[in-house]
Amino acid sequence: MAPLREHNAPVCSPTRAWDGGLRPRAGRERAVSCRQPSAARRADLRTPFRPERGRVTRAGMGLLEDRVAIVTGAGRGLGREEALALAAEGARVVVNDLGVSLAGEVETGDSPAALVVEEIRQAGGTAIANGDDVADWAGAGRLVAQAYDTFGRLDILVNNAGVLRDRMSFNMTEAEFDLVMRVHCKGHYATSHQAVRRWRDAAKATGAAVYGRIINTVSEAGLYGSAGNSNYAMAKAAIAALTQSLAREMGRYGVTSNFMAPRARTRMTLSTPTGSMFEAPAEGFDPWNPAWPAQFVVFLASELASDINGQGFVSWANEIELVSGWHSIGKVAHTAGAFMARDIPGRLDELFGSSPRQPA
């Protein structure tokens, strides 16, 4: 997709800025994303970029000047990159993170949200930290209220926070199932509820459409199913459905709702059996840098994507896929009343056509 490549600027973020055991190289922690690199900078995709004033390093306006964004789970991984990238385009960002392990256990030590806020401020941007649990109804309310109380508005909600408790379905415990469903499903729903309530009230009060963007984080596990993390796949599929429901409910008020399934190197992907494929190459373009999906989030959050609603994408490196969900691909009708069980096998070839009868 041409616009992304233009706006993307695959030069702007530190090539090793991710969590998961691997640390940014010394002295590069403050580097943040920005867009519109010079031709010279484009030529060297691995040149670390340290803008003097962070977000405002180019002559033109940022894509998100004066917008206010919330990014959940933004203390590390993809959320951190999304917060940095939104701030680099001029958004004031509420950086939410509960500060938990990959498995959802509360961690001690520095608040990851506060560290990202500091990073944004050092680079000249505006951000505040929030440590609420997004899967707590009241916590999500406090998070959205903090945006309004501090900045007077909310324009963009990026639901990103997530945890993993991978297990085959036959070994899954109730606690593992519940936690993953809670953080992903309720953690997307509660914040969305709080945001759309405010946006709808504002639209009704003024009689005019508002600017609202919801960007949800899905996974290909939820789009296609996966073995070994059915709880996660189920939760992500639910988020895809929520995305479309929100799009149908809120489009009339000026709010769009889309989802992205990213692929990137974070502690989450590094923890999986295929984690080694996400390692950064010794040199050349780093396709798994989490900064790249973050640029797609910036695009969806901006006015450039005003006419995109209820859509799903897979985003990584220099590629974007548009995906669509369940839809009818075959149909048979019985001519003499309802189908009885024994009637059905004789119609299966007609129903399936060339479609497979088993998962690939």
Q: Which is nearer to ligand NAD, 62 or 77 (CB)?
A: 77
Which part of the chain contacts ligand NAD (CB under 6 A), choosing from 131-139, 173-181, 332-340, 345-353? 131-139
Catalytic residue among 13, 192, 232, 257: 232
> For ligand NAD, which residue of 45, 100, 181, 317 counts as binding (CB under 6 A)?
100
Cβ atoms of 215 and 159 within 8 Å: the answer is yes
Q: Applying CB under 6 A, does 115 fall inside the site for ligand NAD?
A: no
List C-alpha distances in Å: 145 to 140, 150, 173, 273. Answer: 8, 8, 35, 40
Q: Applying CB under 6 A, does 158 fall inside the site for ligand NAD?
A: no
Residue with tokens 């997307």: 188
Q: Applying CB under 6 A, does 266 fall inside the site for ligand NAD?
A: yes
Within 10 Å of residue 192's Cβ, how many Cβ atoms? 24
Cβ atoms of 254 and 156 within 8 Å: the answer is no
Q: Which is nearer to ligand NAD, 68 or 102 (CB)?
A: 102
Q: Which is nearer to ligand NAD, 151 or 232 (CB)?
A: 232
Which residues, 57 to 76, sit near ligand NAD by CB under 6 A?
72-73, 75-76
Catalytic residue among 111, 236, 302, 315: 236
Q: Which is nearer to ligand NAD, 106 or 340 (CB)?
A: 106
> For ligand NAD, which residue of 14, 37, 62, 187 counts as binding (CB under 6 A)?
187
- DSSP assignment of 15-58, as one string? TT---SS--PPTT-TT----S---HHHHH-TT-----TTTT--S
Q: Applying CB under 6 A, does 256 fall inside the site for ligand NAD?
A: no
290 vs 77: CA distance, rounded Å: 7
SS3 347: helix
Catalytic residue among 13, 192, 219, 230: 219
146 vs 94: CA distance, rounded Å: 8
8-state DSSP, 134: T
Which residues, 189 to 248, sit near ligand NAD by CB under 6 A?
217, 219
Residue 157 CB partners (closer than 8 Å, separation 6+):
69, 70, 144, 191, 192, 195, 212, 213, 214, 215
Q: Applying CB under 6 A, does 176 fall inside the site for ligand NAD?
A: no
Letters for 274-313 (x = contact with ligand NAD by CB under 6 A, - = none) are: ----------------------------------------
Q: Describe the chain by its helix, strand, coil percentages, rounded to 5.
A: 40, 10, 45
Exposure letters 292-318 (e unless 16+ CB within 10 A, then b): bbbbbbbbbbbeebeebbbbbbbbbbe
Smallest separation (angstroms) from ligand NAD to the CB of 230:
14
Residue 236: active-site member: yes
Q: Which is nearer to ligand NAD, 109 or 337 (CB)?
A: 109
Residue 219: active-site member: yes
Which part of the chain contacts ligand NAD (CB under 6 A), choosing from 150-158, 255-263, 317-325, 344-352? 255-263
In the chain the first and final C-alpha atoms are separated, in Å, by 28
> For ligand NAD, which residue of 89, 97, 155, 166 counts as binding (CB under 6 A)?
97
Comparing C-alpha atoms, which of 196, 215, 209, 197 is closest to residue 157?
A: 215
Distance of CA 231 to the CA centre of its chain: 18
Smallest separation (angstroms) from ligand NAD to the CB of 152:
23
Smallest separation (angstroms) from ligand NAD to the CB of 28:
19
Q: Which is nearer to ligand NAD, 6 or 279 (CB)?
A: 279
- Interacting residues with ligand NAD (CB under 6 A): 19, 72-73, 75-79, 96-100, 102, 104, 112, 133-135, 160-163, 183, 187, 217, 219, 261-264, 266-269
The catalytic site residues sit at 219, 232, 236
